[in-house]
Amino acid sequence: LAKTTQPISMDSYEGQEVNITCSHNNIATNDYITWYQQFPSQGPRFIIQGYKTKVTNEVASLFIPADRKSSTLSLPRVSLSDTAVYYCLVGVPTGRRALTFGSGTRLQVQP
């Protein structure tokens, strides 16, 4: 089971691009990388998932280098509403361990 390491917290200002890096040195061949966002008193919400290279959707981009030992979630032009906890999950996306959450990164966006 690949363990993940993320910064505990980050600060940013509105309009800036935010990059949150997740370290997963022991990632296995079949593991995917998935990011979730959680607001206070709500359940986590899926942001993006990738296996290698770059994935982009309407919300974020996910950059995965060739060795897959880390990944970076990129949030373009953040707003106050992006203040949340962001979780990086690494693993086979099925079964009991599909949703193993670490401590996450608390992003605070200032005006």
Q: Which stretches of the chain bind another protein, using CB under 8 A?
A: 32, 36, 41-46, 49, 92-96, 98-104
Can you say how many angstroms the Cα of residue 100 is from the centroid of all Cα atoms in its chain?
13
> Which residue carries 């990738």 as its tokens?
50
Q: Burial-class residue 27 by CB neighbours within 10 Å (0-12, 13-18, 19+).
A: buried
78 versus 89: smaller Cβ distance to another protein? 89
CB of 65 vs another protein, minimal distance in Å: 22
40 versus 111: smaller Cβ distance to another protein? 40
32 versus 63: smaller Cβ distance to another protein? 32
